[in-house]
Amino acid sequence: MLQSRQLALPSYLVAFSLVVLPPLDQLIQIFPLRVGDARWRFGAFGLLSNSLLLSTVGVLVALVVASVFEHRRFRRILGVGTLTVVLVLAAAWVVFALDVLQVRNGVNAQAARAFFAASVSAALRSFFAVLSLTVLGVTAFRGSKPIAKPAKRSAMVVSGPESRTAKRSEAAVLDVSDRTT
């Protein structure tokens, strides 16, 4: 039978795959990079926003695994990484909003509805990814502190009829042990 600790590494590998591979697939599609072109930035952000859901699920899987196996240091690292990605996504979201304003002037009337739908869809996907990743990042930090364990009590105080029975049992055990020695 597998011990539960043996599931940590495969779980982390699945989480890493979910976080890294979808954006990597999208990045391959947007090469060569043309960062100076507003239309390219608009399209690149739209494509990359498609991969944010799976990446967010990957972060969630990693956080659950780190919580279950009490990997506090990894939770802290995950929190820093996640909140860093949130800052980058928030900055990219602002640039995307500016690109939408710039590119919409060049869109013909027939494509205006599709352009609007693509803009709103990418903006909403990225907004909810930023929101979800922020919550996950903060949660990772909150659970990364060691939990204080309650002090163990050394003796249990019993009163009433049970205490007399316990005292008689203890006296009987002591009496038997005195007779044997």
Report how far Cα 25 is from the mean position of its chain's Cα atoms. 21
- pLDDT tens-digit map of 6-42: 899 999 999 999 999 999 999 999 989 899 999 999 9
pLDDT along the chain (181 residues), means of 10: 77 97 93 91 94 96 94 95 97 96 92 95 96 97 68 55 54 51 52
- pLDDT tens-digit map of 95-106: 999 999 999 999
19 and 58 in contact (C-beta within 8 Å)? yes
94 and 37 in contact (C-beta within 8 Å)? no
Report how far Cα 72 is from the mean position of its chain's Cα atoms. 13
Q: What is the pTM of this model?
A: 0.75
Domain ranges of the chain: 4-142
